[in-house]
Amino acid sequence: MSVEQVTIENSNHHASDGTWTPSTWRTKKINQNVTYEDKESLQKVVEKLNHVPPLVTPTEINKLRHQLEQVALNKAFLLQGGDCAELFDYCSQEPIESKLKVLLQMSLVLIWGSRIPVIRIARMCGQYAKPRSNEMEMYEGKEIHSFRGDIINGYEPTDRQPDPDRLLKGTRQEYQTIVDRLTDTLDFMKTIGADSPFTNTLNSIDLFMSHEGLILEYEQCMTRLLKDPETGSQKWYNVGAHFLWVGDRTRQLDEAHIEYFRGIRNPIGVKVGPTMQPEELKKLLNIVNPDKEIGRELSKVIHTHKNNASKLNGVHFELTGEGVTECIGGSMELSQVDLEQNYKTYCDPRLNYEQSLDVAFLIAKYCEKERNESLPAL
């Protein structure tokens, strides 16, 4: 199924008029809910999460908002990518370093082709939950919970009971590893002279974190009333990620997830599948972005944009920097028979390192062609 993502600058209008709080979603019907048997343990975890230090800051969130405005104005390109679903085991140097490497290299390729800045958003540090068609499944004649991601339950059939303690695991460790790896990258640039006065833009790297806002108990705990550093007024920020999106299975207009997303200050995304009607999309945008702030962008295939006098300003891939064999095609010419060589995903298949760069070069070449065609003749 083809699914696109609408990226939206959330105006936070409802939070300011007093009709929204981080918990008003509880008054609505909810899809993809998690049922925890141990309510007492869940409450203890929620109390701890309410006091977890912020993983991101309002300054960083506002910075991403402004950069996405440039995407909407055709002055920047959005690159978003990462695992379909992260595992806590990925919170180590090698897998994080490989994803950072491929995202940074893809962005450089895209900058080369487009000659405009590239905004990097990683599906990392929180992409631990996934929606499922059915809450339960059959295994060896017994009904067990479906695997919903490491933040909810384990992959092994004997570890499928939703465990609230999992909500506390993994995130801060991964953030610290990312900071360490980016620092190391910048040190390398300095060593080779990439920090000269002529290349001072390489002295810092903007890399924003994102995940699907699926588990609203968790997202509510990470939503804090903080001062907007630009206006001085108090606004609701989700400090667990810079960017969050609502999935195709939880985007119902009058239900819990849209109720939550309409109030946070973070830029947000909405996955739009073929079942959504145009009028429904208009209503959804009016709910989450009533003030029509700049920063909305619909990702589609390049030629569809071209045929409709539009422009592709962003892409979102499920990818990894590792040499997995989960998707066919690319310069490696992987076929169906090659998939079993290194098929490691616990969820949807991902582009490997080479395939990710293949896609980046494909887009870059298109951007270069478009740019050259728009230049005046000599």
Binding residues for Mn(2+): 84, 318, 348
Cβ(274)–Cβ(2) under 8 Å?
yes
Inter-CA distances, 153 with 31, 35, 169, 237, Å: 18, 11, 12, 27
- Bind-site residues: 84, 123, 271, 318, 348
Cβ atoms of residues 79 and 120 within 8 Å: yes
Question: How many of the other CB atoms lie within 10 Å of CB of 153?
Answer: 20
Distance CA 91, CA 123 (A): 13
Name all contacts of 274-278 with Cβ < 8 Å and 24+ positions apart. 274/1, 274/2, 275/248, 276/248, 276/251
β-bridge mates for residue 235, sequence order = 226
Contact (CB, 8 A) for 88 and 128: yes
* Cα distance between residue 374 and residue 180, in whole Å: 41
Q: Residue 207: what are its φ and ψ, rounded to 5°?
A: -135, 115
Output the known binding site for phosphoenolpyruvate.
Answer: 123, 271
Query: In 3-state terms, what secondary structure has residue 327?
Result: coil
Alpha-carbon torsion (254, 256, 258, 264), positive or negative: positive
8 with 295: CB under 8 angstroms? yes
Q: Are 250 and 268 in contact (CB under 8 A)?
A: no
